[in-house]
Amino acid sequence: MNFDLDSINKAFDKTLGRTLGIVVTEAIAGRVSATMPVGSHNHQPMGLLHGGASVALAETVASIGGWLLVSDQGNVVVGLEINANHMRSVTQGIVTAVGHVIHQGRSTQVWEIKITSDEGKLVCVSRCTLAVIKG
């Protein structure tokens, strides 16, 4: 099942996702992809992509994916825990996050998200646990 990308991306208006320039490029059951430009708006003082921006991208991908799996039941998801391992720095360009569900339970979901650079090099690996709650 594919989901309407225009509606998903419009939901970012006036949110952190819009501020960071996140654009969802794929949304299918159990898998979500998104891009984020890298520039001064999300750099840390040394001119590198801020690790927190990578984490925000990862949690955004997981949260959208999680919600898509439970929204037809009137449920929503919220983040419980997230971790990230930053593998390499990025100073410019566009990073791409691809997340897939690795556990889908009634009350929790676990998502793995890999963020890569324009060159396809691994920038960050994250795992996000979501709580499923009534909408």
User: Quick check: is 59 catalytic?
Assistant: yes
Please give the angle made by the CA atoms of 84, 89 and 92, to the nearest 5 degrees: 120
- Full DSSP string of the chain: -B--HHHHHHTTTTSHHHHHT-EEEEEETTEEEEEEEESGGGB-TTSSB-HHHHHHHHHHHHHHHHHHHHGGGTEEEEEEEEEEEE-S---SEEEEEEEEEEEE-SSEEEEEEEEE-TTS-EEEEEEEEEEEEE-
10-24 pLDDT tens trace: 988 899 999 999 999
pTM over 0.85: yes
Catalytic pick from 26, 59, 81, 119?
59
pLDDT in tens, 25-83: 999 999 999 999 999 999 999 999 999 999 999 999 999 999 999 999 999 999 999 99
